[in-house]
Structure 1
Amino acid sequence: MKVLRSVGPIFFVLAALLVLIAVVNPFFLEPAGFLAFVKRAAPLVILAAGQYFVIVSGEFDLSVGSLVTVEVVVAARLIGGDEAATWPVLALLVVLGPLVGLVNGVITTGLRVPSFITTLGMMLVLSGAVFLWTGGAPRGALSETFRMFGRKDLGPVPWSVLVLLVAGAAAVLLMRSGYGKRLVATGDNERAAGLSGVRVDRTRVLAFVVSGLAAAVAGILLGGFAGVSAQVGQGLEFQAITAVVLGGVVLGGGRGSVVAAMAGAFTLEALFTLLNLHGISGALEYAVQGVIIIAAVAAGAVRLPRRRAARA
């Protein structure tokens, strides 16, 4: 019942938004229409799942949007439309994402630099590297095999939906493992977790690695779906954080469900879809994200004294 109370509300909100979308656009009720929505949402949902691991540990990862851009730009430049280069480049991208996450984690835990500063710096480094390499205009082209994952279908189901199902299942299984319990314990009370034998630094580093891997997968999907652009990942870090807190995950760590975080991403995508259907988008989307984040921080500030009082 406790889990249901913490996870349930976001699903009610999501269901209400989906009903409103269906009222405005009846095609949404058809399998093709609904799968198209899931296909659009898949990169953000995967990013939110990765961001959840970092946030529930008590940290932040602001570098994922820039990392997505790097993945797409690097892929286009190295592949250059050559089908034979697709799989080696895909392997490189899958390694590059976790490697950036590893650097973030080691700097945060080893040098005791706050993760907000570490990942903000990494975001700027990656953005600057992309600009220097491309001059603001990415070169090269993605192969059809690469674009298959974000654009094409396997039978009636888009590849991106299948990738999302695999990534979501992996995130749920990881959180149900011993590592997931250690991660939540670390975010809830770092000192107590350390005294109970949890290797806090190693646990947090792995969370950043997972976030980097999620960004790599999201970048691969977005490259196929949206094409090559130096702005493809712009703002995604804030959308991922917004989705996580919308799912009820407490900023500061120790509370929240990865399933609810992914549902939060679907909810945010549904909200943006509904706004677009009514001809409202752009700046209002950023305003909505800002309101959600402020409300989440305020709610966390109210709950924190209660948690401390309960421990006392």
Structure 2
Amino acid sequence: MSADSPADRAGVRTGARSEPAAELELPRGVALAWGVAANPQRGPKREMSLERIVDAAVEIADAEGLAAVSMSRVAQALGYTTMSLYRYVTAKDDLITLMQEYGTALPPEPDPDLAPDDWRGRIRHVARAQLAQSSAHPWLLDIPIEGTPVTPNNLAWMDAMLETLAALPVTEDERVAIMLLITGQVRWQGVIERSYRDAAGAAGVDPQQIDDARDSILDALVTADEFPSLRRAVDAGVFRHGDDPLAFGFERVLDGIAEYVSTHRDGTPAPPPLSEPDADVADDRNVREARKAIREAEKRLRDARKVERQAIRAARAKRRATGE
């Protein structure tokens, strides 16, 4: 098997593995990705293989999206029965795992022109490559995140990102948290850019034309009386000719990391988590009643703002009608 074969790109490993991973009770898809799953005892002729199955599934997803992938559709593309596939991949979830390995591929090698302590440049290098993978295989963004990844290529990306942060004087906990912050920002950017590409493709226009059209709509609908701050942004041409807000946001994330490293390495306690309270607290009657009251108050506020907007529009229409 060549170094750039589909199996290598997918993380589908066909050789025996003597490491402890071979002795673990792994989910079938993860075991296939690591090359420690048992091969099928029988099946179609040699033309059928795990690599060909993954290739066919990825080709369908690239053309039509993840929702178009099914075991029967992949079998049809290969010219076999669906039952033939189940001898290699026992469930669609396992196939999705292998597709993700294929689409994720391996992270880039470190840029030799960047110094080891140039953590910002090294992060940009890996982040651009990560964004390129989601652009090449947009369906990757539709695969749910179900905890820390445990397949080879995903772990290789985690390792590469952590290596870019090796020069920072932070704890391993902080390093992992910073990695999650960066990868989350890149994933969000991938989602936004994909949405623009999809909308532009459906309309048969350039993505910039979408922003131009939206700017025209905002210019017509947004008034200084109703949305004063937004009106200033429209008048400034932000939505038509503004700088790339995604690139700006990414750089501010890096600024924040730099600021944290320079000023918060003095033993300051970590801030409390933003997640919801524990389940036993969430079930407390007082908490439930408080949340219900908040929801009702928010609804009243939304209704009041709706009435306010309607009153502003009515007053503006009256001024136009009377010539005031």
Give TM-score, length-normalised by structure 1. 0.27
Largest Rg, 1 or 2: 2
Q: Which has the higher helix share?
A: 1
Higher relative contact order (CA 8 A, sep 6+): 1
Give TM-score, length-normalised by structure 2. 0.26
